[in-house]
Amino acid sequence: MTVTTRFAPSPTGLLHVGNIRAALHNWLFARQQSGRFVLRIDDTDAERSEERYVAAIRADLAWLGLTPDAEVRQSERFALYQQRFDALVAAGRIYPAYETAQELDLKRKILLGRGLPPVYDRAALTMGDAARAALEAEGVRPHWRFKLDHDAPIAWDDLIRGPQSFDPRTMSDPVVRRADGSWLYMLPSAIDDADLGISHVVRGEDHVSNTALQLQMFAAMDAAPPRFAHAALLTGAEGKLSKRLGSLGVDHFRAEGIEPQAVVALLARIGTSDPVEPVADPAPLIAAFDFARFGRAPARFDEGELAQLNARIVHHLPYAAVADRLPTGVGEAEWQAVRPNLTRVAEAADWWQVIEGPIDAPAQDEATQAYLAEAAAVAATIDWSGDAWHALTNALKTSSGRKGKALFLPLRQALTGRDHGPDMAALLPLIGREAALARLTAGR
């Protein structure tokens, strides 16, 4: 059996961090098992689905490196849904129901008021043909429900949550089709999973009850169900569910200068027993992916942790990976020099300005100005083809008697305008002899 996973977003909005995590889990498992990762666009809701969101979903997955092996769209599969629907109606597993939304809401309130679970009472199953015909003659069209088998306990071994069990008598027969003929999520999803040979469904724990219902749908269609894995949901840094998580997506991460590798590295590991590491290549994440390492506690997503991870990844990015995002003139030597001081690639532009100039060096007292004049005289005599920085500072240490901060800080300030920054041994040759001499004498 070829392992086949799927990511099934609805194109009614942009992907958020929770969606991205689900897509990543499915992609990682498929790649680890040398299987297939399918993108299924769940666009049965014609009114809310938009092509711009379909394009955005594809672009977001591409930015993250989660390339699907195939793509299908539910809007192109209605004939298949109708075929399966008709068969289930004929088999008595789907039946029409005529209650209005108001009537159903009243029934729920009555049950809750009695301290009972708000389970649908199956009144539609007792309706006679004459009553149905009378309603339809009045123009009332039914919605359609899947009839659960109350005699068959629902159980499965979840790859993350372990043994799961549901009593179908405590569950309402789910509505699978609206009165206007449009489809709800449950049945088309099960039909697609069976038809596309989906072997594993990896999704959030908010779908656990959906899985219980869909397992009976697979059985009714005489189709082998996939294996299921339900991951704990994300929480915010404050330790509880956060609406902000629903607004964090690829556009936000890109605007913040976050690398896709950082998003992938964090989302692959949070909620598991594995440490979060600055992994720029997904190969180690693929190799280590294991449902047994997922915990049941909510997974904590912290933007501060993501920013720190991003900086660590930037420190290891090769020049070729960032060259097209660097200012004109920044080559591999410049990148290697400034990279350890960056938290985001875009910050390289600030250090390129330091290298190219002009800079705004702080004013210095007379003693420091004299020291910098001495430094300029020494800099004019050293060999710039070698290690100019250590040649300069070693000579000044002897001639001036300075050491430590008193030796180094005035030089850094005069040469870069900053108190801190990249290793001066790497930076000084990039600034160059003439610019360095001019900066050392600029305050006189």
Secondary structure (DSSP) of 81-116? HHHHHHHHHHTTSEEEE---HHHHHHHHHHHHHTT-
Bond prior to 358 in cis (omega within 30° of 0): yes
Phi, psi of 319 (to 5 degrees): -55, -40
Q: Is 227 helix (H, G, I), strand (E, B) or coil?
A: strand
Secondary structure (DSSP) of 167-185? -GGGSPPPEEE-TTS-B-S
Rounded to 10°, the helix 17-32/260-269 angle is: 80
CA 296 to chain centre: 19
* Contact (Cβ atoms closer than 8 angstroms) between residue 217 and residue 146: yes
- The Cα 398–Cα 327 span in angstroms is 39
DSSP one-letter code for 306: H
CA 387 to chain centre: 44
Kindly calculate the radius of gyration of the chain based on its CA atoms and give it in whole angstroms: 32
Q: How many helices (H) and strands (E) does the chain have?
A: 19, 12
- The Cα 99–Cα 109 span in angstroms is 15
- The Cα 23–Cα 149 span in angstroms is 32
SS (H, E, C) 240-284: CCCHHHHCCCHHHHHHCCCCHHHHHHHHHHCCECCCCCCCCCCHH
Please name the residues in contact with 209: beta carbons below 8 A apart, sequence gap of 6 or more: 166, 171
Rounded to 10°, the helix 388-400/405-416 angle is: 130
Q: Is 243 annotated as a binding residue?
A: yes
* Contact (Cβ atoms closer than 8 angstroms) between residue 229 and residue 291: yes
What does the block give as tokens for 373?
Answer: 């004049």
DSSP one-letter code for 371: H
Closest by CA to 41, choosing from 25, 61, 17, is 61
Q: Residues comprising the binding site? A: 243
Q: Residues comprising the binding site for ATP? A: 243
